[in-house]
Amino acid sequence: MPEVTQKDVEHIAQLARLEVTPQEVEDLTKYFAGILFHFRKLEEADLKNLDPFGIEEAEARPLREDVLHAENWRESILREIPLREGDYIRVPRIMKEE
Amino acid sequence: MELWEYPGWRIAQFVSRKELSVEDVVRAHLGRIALCEPHIEGLITLMEDQALERAKKLDISIQKGEPLPSPLCGVPVIIKDNMCFQGAPTTCGSKMLENWHPPYNASVVEYLEDAGAVILGKANMDEFAMGSSTENSAFGPTSNPRNLALVPGGSSGGSAASVAAGYCPLALGSDTGGSIRQPAAFCGVHGMKPTYGLVSRYGLVAFASSLDQIGPFARDLGDIALALDVISRKDPRDATCFPKKEGRYLDALERNSLRGLRIGLVKEYEGEKTDPRLATSVIHAARICQDAGAELVQISLKNAISYGLACYYIIAPAEASSNLARYDGVRYGFRSDAESLLEQYCSTRREFGDEVKRRILAGTYVLSSGYYDAYYLTAQKMRERIQQEFKQAFKDVDALLMPTTPTLPFAKGSVTSPLEMYLQDIFTLPINLAGLPAISLYAGMTEDQLPLNVQLTGPQWSESTLLGIASILENAFGTPSIAKGCDA
């Protein structure tokens, strides 16, 4: 398990769509060193013959029927939109202008 | 005895016999909140008007002789602020949801109200339930009612503090790695995390969906059982909710002997990891069980205790990082203005608190291309190993006894390292990884009046057995009193 560098932290933050300050990058790099120390302990464990997604229990759970239930939430959901124009959500430009 | 000192089941009795009005009950508890809340700061939203309005409605219906809701008629309840309640914001202790009004009620809210409960407010919590001290709330920390200089534990610290201070006899919290049991232990009340799948999470803001579970806090075991009876209902709106139970949990408390039961003492939980006073509580509890006829057995949970923490801190952040991807400032919640959509995402999400950012990044890392096998897949295998280990143990014993926490409640501001904070959950999080039920029980006080605890866990759906053992222990340890530190 390799170390996580400041550059890695910046890359991960970008993947997570999270703006981080230089101070945060420094703190997070130290944090990663700390948790990786714990994660490395897993390398010594015997993990042979294990199903990583042992879901016998989950399979026993019945699925509900795919039926539409009319709920009267439309307006209360729309009301929560931070930037709204009529029934539309307004977002900033996605593509840059050429 | 003041009205706010009664257990919930007693209040429901008074109300249904028309010996008390719901309004009197609610006003008494609101008075208690008004007195203590400036010192404790356990609530994010107090719903005084709504609670009084509901109380009056219940009273009118009682006056008219209409059929009474039961078994919590008139019982004041406080819920953690990650459960949706129409008519109040659901903040999750975060700036991201500061002004978010959910369009629907959580299923547990519906069930509580159907049973006659009156919801008084929304309790403070660590942001998105990530933390063990309630110091990570965007709305400020909560103080421990037993000693205001101490943390109440977390992440459901506001719910635990509310019950300890007498704001309500009953509160709900959520537990992903210990977030009900650890604050219950720190505030000197009982707290139960049910089996994964016993209680619907519909309307609970998701943190780590394979681990999250809702459960009750109370000072009286009868209230824990009643609450569990009310909220453990099959719910088609949560595909993971498929409760298996036989009979009422309340009846499980009738137990007066533990003859025929085998109780395991986990040897890895002893030793230097645990405060000696808590280790002594476990020995004390074991003797009580033995005196009641139980047979004690030594059990080893080597994997759970050696690798549980690493396993949990891969799986929980991985799930959190995907669950929290929805906070992008587009459809609801906080939005930061920006030139492009990408910048809007990044600057909006900058408003998460430090601990939430740490977990989102850790989760993104362990799921990222090239690292998935080394971390996430390995952790999933370890999770399976830990589940097998518990299964094996429960071939030999009916329940396991251990401390809830490695330490007694600590001072606010004293634990600054995130990793040191994570160690708070070493005894609780393996139980979430295995999806098992567990209860943290009040076990008396230390000489300097700090609450002691013990934790019981058992196989899936063994809530009744755990409550039965707990009732024997409660008889011996006594029910927790209300913290009266801010009464003077």
Q: Best of B211, B240, B381 to disrupt the A interface by mutation (most A CBs within 10 Å)?
A: B381
* Min distance B394 CA to chain A CA atoms (Å): 17
Average pLDDT of the residues in A36-54: 89
Average pLDDT of the residues in A36-62: 81
Q: Would you say residue B289 lies in a domain?
A: no
- Chains A–B, number of C-beta pairs less than 8 Å apart: 146
Peptide bond before B71: cis, by omega within 30 degrees of 0? yes
Q: Would you say residue B215 lies in a domain?
A: yes
CB nearest to A89's CB, from B325, B331, B419: B331
* Min distance B448 CA to chain A CA atoms (Å): 34
User: Is it the case that residue A35 has pLDDT exceeding 90?
Assistant: yes
From CA B230, how far away is CA B233, in angstroms rounded?
Answer: 7
Overall domain count for chain B? 1
From CA B54, how far away is CA B407, in angstroms rounded?
Answer: 41
**Chain A, nearest residue to B210 by Cα:** A58
**Chain B, nearest residue to A35 by Cα:** B419
Report phi then psi at B378, rounded to 5: -60, -45
CB nearest to A41's CB, from B310, B343, B352: B310
pLDDT computed for residue B267 by the predictor: 85
Q: Is B478 helix (H, G, I), strand (E, B) or coil?
A: coil
* Min distance A19 CA to chain B CA atoms (Å): 5
pLDDT computed for residue B271 by the predictor: 66
Q: Does the distance separating the beta carbons of B377 and A82 come in below 8 Å?
A: no
pLDDT computed for residue A97 by the predictor: 67
From CA B146, how far away is CA B185, in angstroms rounded?
Answer: 11
Contact call for residues B184 and B146 (beta carbons, < 8 A)? no
pLDDT tens by residue, B360-411: 999 999 999 999 999 999 999 999 999 999 999 999 999 999 999 999 999 9
Q: Would you say residue B240 lies in a domain?
A: yes
CB nearest to A31's CB, from B309, B381, B418: B418
Q: Would you say residue B293 lies in a domain?
A: no
* Min distance A44 CA to chain B CA atoms (Å): 10
pLDDT computed for residue B229 by the predictor: 98
Q: Would you say residue B370 lies in a domain?
A: no
Q: Does the distance separating the beta carbons of A51 and B365 come in below 8 Å?
A: no
From CA A88, how far away is CA B331, in angstroms rounded?
Answer: 10
Q: Is B171 helix (H, G, I), strand (E, B) or coil?
A: strand
Residue A72 — pLDDT band, cuts 50, 70, 90? confident
pLDDT computed for residue A55 by the predictor: 60
**Chain A, nearest residue to B388 by Cα:** A50
Q: Of how many residues is chain B composed?
A: 488
**Chain A, nearest residue to B303 by Cα:** A45
Residue A5 — pLDDT band, cuts 50, 70, 90? very high
pLDDT computed for residue A68 by the predictor: 86
Provide the residue range defining the domain that includes B175: 3-260+465-477
Q: Would you say residue B132 lies in a domain?
A: yes
Task: Kindly list the catalytic residues of B.
Answer: 80, 155, 179
Count Cβ atoms below 10 Å from residue B53 Cβ, excluding itself.
Answer: 14
Q: Would you say residue B390 lies in a domain?
A: no
Using a CB-CB cut-off of 8 Å, the residues of chain A touching B384 are: 50-52, 54
Report chain B (488 residues): mean pLDDT per 10 consecutive residues.
97 96 98 98 98 98 95 98 96 97 97 98 98 98 98 98 98 98 98 97 97 98 98 93 91 95 90 87 97 97 94 98 97 94 95 98 96 94 96 98 97 97 96 98 97 98 98 97 84
Work out the percent of chain A whose per-residue pLDDT is above 70. Answer: 90
From CA B462, how far away is CA B263, in angstroms rounded?
Answer: 13
Q: The domain spanning residue B225 has which CATH number?
A: 3.90.1300.10
Using a CB-CB cut-off of 8 Å, the residues of chain A touching B420 are: none
Q: Does the distance separating the beta carbons of B384 and A51 come in below 8 Å?
A: yes
Q: Is B340 helix (H, G, I), strand (E, B) or coil?
A: strand
Q: Would you say residue B13 lies in a domain?
A: yes
